[in-house]
Amino acid sequence: MLVENLGVDIALENSEWAVFMEAQQGLELQYSRSSFLGGYNDPINFLTNFTTDNPMNRTDFSNEEFDSLIDASYEEEDANTRFDLLLEAEALLMEEAPFVPLYFYNHTFLYKPEVNDVVRHPVGFVELKYASLD
């Protein structure tokens, strides 16, 4: 699809994990695969990874306005205003497009009716410590 739609021809290269990570963190790769699973249900969990000095930022993306919006969101006490700041930061990130989302993780679960109180967190984790059987 990349060749067909964008005229971009990509050659796959395999390497040992440590070698790959060093090259990715050193910004030596033009295109590489990464993933991130959020630990909690808040946009900052994902957006902060693209701030200028964040070690998770393996894209070389740097934008003062984006960084300022993220910083302002940490200081904002009003939840709605904070969310608006994060939404604006996300829009800027999507406009700049330092990454290409290829897929999203998903999980499928089957439950028996007699199993109760299984906690499914919005970010995908399943918690069984409260689970019980009827």
Compare 78 and 35 and report the one with higher pLDDT. 78
Name the pTM for this structure. 0.76
Fold of the domain spanning 2-133: Dipeptide-binding Protein; domain 3 (3.10.105)
Domain ranges of the chain: 2-133
Query: Which helix (H) or strand (E) covers residue 132, if one does?
Result: strand 132-133
pLDDT in the model for residue 99: 87
pLDDT digits (tens, 9 = 90+) for 98-130: 988 877 777 788 888 899 999 988 777 888 999
- Give counts: helices (H), strands (E), the chain: 5, 4
Encoded tokens for 59: 């894209």
Q: How far apart are CA 17 and CA 31, in angstroms?
A: 16
